Chains A and B, each alone.
Chain A
Amino acid sequence: DVVMTQTPVSLSVSLGGQVSISCRSSQSLVHNNGNTYLSWYLQKPGQSPQLLIYKVSNRFSGISDRFSGSGSGTDFTLKISRVEPDDLGVYYCGQGTQYPYTFGAGTKLELK
């Protein structure tokens, strides 16, 4: 199984600041078709996860350009700029390249 390792476990940020979350996979996430199926989700308190980024760097519909994804192979990063109160919650990376699909353990973004 592909193990997804997220760092840090938690992050404190001031409003308006910028943060980066790292996600590393135990195997390359490049699919046989050449695509890389790495996505990012945000779970706000008391809510279901919501999709932010898919295929490494593609923002889902309605997602602010303050969110950006990058990376390749086994190393990926989510950057959030100009942090707003609505950005707080737990961020998960997930891989859809091979079954079983797996997620990172999550990174909790809190206010400083």
Chain B
Amino acid sequence: EVQLVESGGGLVQPGRSLKLSCLASGFTFSNYGMNWIRQAPGKGLEWVASISSSSSYIYYADTVKGRFTISRDNAKNTLYLQMTSLRSEDTALYYCARHRYYGGYNDYWGQGVMVTVSS
């Protein structure tokens, strides 16, 4: 069974940093690209970042470019999102999702981890 479990969220002050993790199981993690997608309270879905299976290709939304860094450790079956210079508008539920690049879709999603940026 494919499982994605996010962790690392919490309350953080504006301008500070936070690192999210997503532990994958039930599939060969190193064979799949991964995405971070977020959802502000009561709002829709916003794609944040993508990383290919071997980390060769990385993409970011303009809203986070230069502040967030997506990475992965295939030996640990873990996806990361390092977030710096956090803003109130980054407050959201952050999902990791398995990405099927040659289908352009996300077939499995984690339960999400909440990040609240507030003073």
Contact = CB atoms under 8 A, between A and B. Distances in A.
Interface residues of B, number: 23
Contacts of A101: 35, 47, 50, 104
A92 interface: yes
Contacts of B44: 92, 103-106
Contacts of B112: 48
Interface string A57-100: 00010000000000000000000000000000000101111011
B66 to A, nearest CB: 15
B7 to A, nearest CB: 15
* Size range of the chain A interface in the assembly: 20 to 34
A5 interface: no
Nearest to B99: A96
Contacts, number: 66
A55 B104 contact: yes
B104 A97 contact: yes
A102 interface: yes
Contact of B107 (A51, A92, A104): A51
The B interface, classified by DSSP as helix, strand, loop or mixed, is strand
Contact of B95 (A31, A48, A51, A60): A48
B29 interface: no
Interface string B9-50: 000000000000000000000000001000000001111001
Interface of B: 35, 44-47, 50, 59, 61-62, 95, 100-112
Interface of A: 31, 35, 37-39, 41, 48-51, 54-55, 60, 92, 94-97, 99-106
26 contacts: A35-B104, A37-B105, A38-B104, A39-B103, A39-B105, A41-B45, A48-B110, A49-B45, A49-B95, A54-B100, A54-B104, A55-B103, A55-B105, A92-B44, A92-B45, A94-B105, A95-B104, A96-B103, A97-B104, A100-B61, A101-B35, A101-B47, A101-B50, A101-B104, A102-B47, A106-B44
Given A103-B44, A105-B44, 13 more contacts: A38-B104, A41-B45, A48-B95, A48-B112, A54-B100, A54-B103, A55-B104, A60-B107, A96-B101, A101-B35, A101-B104, A103-B46, A106-B44
